[in-house]
Structure 1
Amino acid sequence: MTQPRDTSAQAQDEAVSITSELIRIDTSNTGEPETTVGERAAADYVAGQLEEVGYEVTRLDSGGPGRSNVFVRIEGADPSRSALLVHGHLDVVPADPTEWSVHPFSGAIQDGYIWGRGAVDMKDMVGMMLAVARRFRRDGIVPPRDLVFAFLADEEAGGAFGSQWLVKNRADLFDGVTEAVGEVGGFSITLGDDLRAYTIEIAEKGIAWMRLRVRGTAGHGSMLHDDNAVTKLSAAVGRLGEHQFPIVVTDSVRAFLNSIAALTGAEFDKDDLAGSVAKLGSFARAIGATLRDTANPTMLTAGYKANVIPSVAEAVVDCRVLPGREAAFERELDEILGPDVEREWVTHLPAVETTFDGDLVDAMTTAVVAEDPGAHTIPYMLSGGTDAKAFQDLGIRCFGFSPLRLPPDLDFSALFHGVDERVPVEAVRFGTRVLDRFLRNC
Structure 2
Amino acid sequence: MSPLTICLIIFALMVIGFCSGKYSLATISLVSMMALVLTGCMDAKDALTYFSNNNVIMIAGMCVVAAGFNRTQFCTNVANGISRVSKGSLNKMMFGYVLIGMLLSQFIQSPIVAMGIVTPMLLASAESMGLKSSKVVFPLGVATVVTCCTLPVGAGATVAAELNGYLESYGYLDHMVGILDPMVGRLPLLVICVIYCSFFATKFAPDEPIVKSITEVKQGAGRVALKPFQEYAGIFIFFADAVALMCAKQIGMQNWEITVIGALAMVLCGVLKPREATASLPVSMLLLIVGALAMSGALSSTGAGDLIGGHIAGIVDSVNGNSYIIGFIFFIIPFVMTQVMQNRGTMLIFHPIAIATCASIGANPVGLMILIQAACLSAFMTPMATAAIPYMMECGGYDQRSMFKQSWLFAIICCVVSVGWIMTVFPLG
Larger Rg: 1
- Structures share fold, TM-score greater than 0.5: no
More helix, by proportion: 2
More strand, by proportion: 1
TM-score after normalising by structure 2 = 0.30
